[in-house]
Amino acid sequence: MRNPFSHLLLRISVCAAIALASFRPALSQSPTASSGSTHTDPSNQQKNQSMSEGMANMNMGGPTESLTDNVLRHTTSGTDLEPDSTAPPMLMQMRNNWMLMLHGQASIVDQQQTGPRAHDKLFSANWIMPMAQRQFGSSELTLRAMLSLEPATISGRYYPELFQQGETAFGKPIVDGQHPHNLFMEIAALYDYKFSEQSVFSLYAAPAGDPALGPVAFPHRASASEDPLAPLGHHLQDSTHIAYEVLTGGLTLHRLRIEASGFHGREPGENRWIISVGGLDSWSARLTVAPVRDWTAQYSIGHLHSPEAQHPAEDVLRQTASISYHHSWNANSLDGLALWGRNHTIDTPTNANGYLFEATTHLHNRHSIWTRIENVDRTTDLLGPAAPPEETVVGRVQAYTGGYAHHLYSNNWSVYELGAQATLYNTPAPLRSLYGDHPTGVAAVLNIHLGK
C-alpha cells in the first residue's frame, strides 16, 4: 500500500480549487438583508412588517419543538426526517416573502487499500442543495434542487471501496466500488397544508427525487456528515434516494407521520448527467415516530420493480427500520443511527440483510470524530465474470471504520476540516481467496461544509 499522505497537500490544493468554484454562495448566514443605509422608506414599512411576520412563522432551518415543524423544514432529501433537535448547517436569507436556503458539502478524498483487490484513487464526493420556501396562510410551498458534480470528480464511473456492489460501469456490474451520484440528485416541489399546530398534510412531486423508503440517505444525514464513503449496505437501505417520477403523500399527526410513494424502480443509468424517465411501477410506505425531540424512528417497506440493470427480471421487496439520535450541549453535538435493511428477491429464497451503526461527534467546534460499524450480506455479484446468472448470498462482511478531522478554517459561509479514516474488513470464508482475511482501507479527507 502506498503512503496515503504522500503528496497529499499538493493534490488537495489542485482539487480544492475546482471544488470550491462550485460552492461560492450568494446567500448570507443571516436571514436579514445585507448591510447598507439604515434609513427606512415609510412606503416599505408595511411590506417589511409582512416579511417579518412570514419569517416568524418559518422555522429558519434550526431545531424545532414539534414533529410538524420538523416536517415543514424540508432540510433533507425527499421527505426524510432527522430528529427535531437537529440543526443542519446552512445559509439563508429572506427575499420578497421567500426564504432562500443553501447547504451542501464537498469531500476531497485520497483512498488507499490493501489486499489482492485493492485500488487507490483521488476523488471528490460532493452535493449542493438550493431551496426556496414561501407561506400562503396555512399552506407552505417549497421548491428544492440537489446537484452533484460527482460525474466529473469521480473518474472511471466509480471510486474504490472494498466489498461494495451495486449498479454498473461500462456495461458491467460494479465490484469493489461505489458509483457517483447524478448531476440532478433531486428536483422537487413540496406542498404542505397545516390543519393545526399538530397536523400537516404534505404532497411531494419530483422528476428526480427520494421516495418514502429508508432513513435519511447517507450523503445528507448528520451521523455520516464526516464520512465520505458510502455504507456497504447502501443498496439494501437507502439507494432509492435518487429515483425518478416520484410522487409522495404524507400525513403528520402529533408525533406520528405516515407516507406512501409511487416511483420508477430502476436505479439510475450510467449517464449521470441526465434525468431518466419511466412509469410509476414501484411503491413504498413509511411510518415515522418522534417520541421526543432527540429521537426519531422509522419503518418502511417498498416493492422495487427491476431495480438493477444486471438483473432486469428481478423485483425486490425492501424493508428498513432505523433509530436516529441527536443531542447538543455547549459547543458539542452527537449524532447516531442504528439501521437495518433487507432485500428479498421476489419469487426466490434470496434474502440479503445489512446492519449498520454510525455516530459522529463534534467537540468545541474544533474536532470531529466518527465511526461506522457494518455487518452486511454480500452476493455472488462480487465474483465478477465468474458470477452465476442468478444472484445469491455468499457471505457476510464486517467493516469497522473510525475517523478524525481537525478544524482548519472557517468564515461566514463555510467550514474546512482535514482528517483521515481507516476501515478494517473481516472477510467471510467463501471470499477469502479473493480478498484475504482482513483487508484495510485508509482515506485522507478534506471536508468542506456550507454553513456553520
**What's the confidence (pLDDT) of residue 60?**
56
**What's the confidence (pLDDT) of residue 386?**
85
**What's the confidence (pLDDT) of residue 59?**
53
Rounded to an integer, the average pLDDT of 132-145 is 97
Three-state SS at 21? helix
The owner of cell 458539542 is 332
Rounded to an integer, the average pLDDT of 138-164 is 97
Is residue 127's pLDDT more than 70?
yes
Is residue 438's pLDDT more than 60?
yes
Superfamily of domain covering 53-450: Porin (2.40.160.10)
pLDDT tens, 330-364? 999 999 999 999 999 999 999 999 999 999 999 99
Instruction: Tell me the one-letter amino acid at 441.
Output: G
> Percentage of the chain surpassing pLDDT 70?
87
pLDDT tens, 178-222? 999 999 999 999 999 999 999 999 999 999 999 999 999 999 999
Confidence band of 58 (pLDDT split at 50, 70, 90): low
Q: Give the separation between CA 223 and CA 9, rounded to whole angstroms.
A: 27
**What's the confidence (pLDDT) of residue 389?**
85
**What's the confidence (pLDDT) of residue 61?**
61
Largest CA distance in the chain: 79
Q: Give the separation between CA 79 and CA 39, rounded to whole angstroms.
A: 42
Rounded to an integer, the average pLDDT of 314-323 is 97
Smallest CA-to-CA distance from 242 within 300, 181, 190, 171 is with 181
**What's the confidence (pLDDT) of residue 21?**
39
DSSP string, 315-371: -EEEEEEEEEEEEEETTEEEEEEEEEEEEEETTSS-EEEEEEEEEEEEETTTEEEEE
Across the chain, mean pLDDT equals 88
How many residues appear in the chain? Answer: 452
Instruction: Tell me the one-letter amino acid at 378.
Output: R
Q: Give the separation between CA 303 and CA 281, rounded to whole angstroms.
A: 9
Which residues does 170 contact at the CB level (< 8 Å), separation at least 6?
Answer: 157, 270
Three-state SS at 432? helix
Rounded to an integer, the average pLDDT of 75-88 is 94
Is residue 35's pLDDT more than 70?
no
Smallest CA-to-CA distance from 135 within 197, 50, 78 is with 50
**Quick one: DSSP state of residue 156?**
G
pLDDT tens, 236-270? 999 999 999 999 999 999 999 999 999 999 999 99
Contacts 24+ apart (CB under 8 A), 383-388: 383/434, 384/173, 384/175, 387/173
State the cell numbers at 229.
464513503
Residue 17 — φ and ψ, nearest 5°? -60, -40
pTM: 0.87
Contact indicator for 260, 284 with CB cutoff of 8 Å: yes
pLDDT tens, 285-301? 999 999 999 999 999 99
End-to-end Cα, the chain, rounded Å: 36
> Percentage of the chain surpassing pLDDT 90?
80
